[in-house]
Structure 1
């Protein structure tokens, strides 16, 4: 299955772990690709102080933390 969402995060980020759990309550976990921003300098610049960020790939709509289950449902 192709990812329909990217969750921008960083290893050891407790908020990112919470976001993954929250996303998995609404979305198929297989539709989410977790992207570690540390591996890409431009992603660090773009999302470094904002992670976790959930992006719907079809139109690049983004949810910046803090987001709720209702926010994810609207994005779906």
Structure 2
């Protein structure tokens, strides 16, 4: 499963979200990618006040405060397909 996190430097919520994804990667086949929105003007415009944004297989799953349970439920749903 491709998990993309849109983030920026010096973002405490992004750091916490990355920890959540790292913890979940121990139990799920996650291919993780982190993208800095400040390196792409379109992403900056789209996600400016939403970061961090977690996208799984192209679907935005959660943004802002990332809850491990929410991401885990989504991953479980994907595993059942």
Matches within 5 A, 1:24-35: 24-27=22-25, 31-35=31-35
1:60 equivalenced with 2:64 (yes/no): no
Residue deviations 1:31-76, cap 9 Å, x none?
110000000001011111000000012x423311212111010121
Q: Give the TM-score taking structure 1 as reference length.
A: 0.83
**Number of matched residues?**
73
Larger Rg: 2
RMSD between aligned residues: 1.9
**Structure 1: where are the runs of 5+ without partners?**
none
Q: Give the TM-score taking structure 2 as reference length.
A: 0.78
**Structure 2: where are the runs of 5+ without partners?**
76-81
Relative distance call for 1:55 and 1:40 in structure 2 (3 A) is same
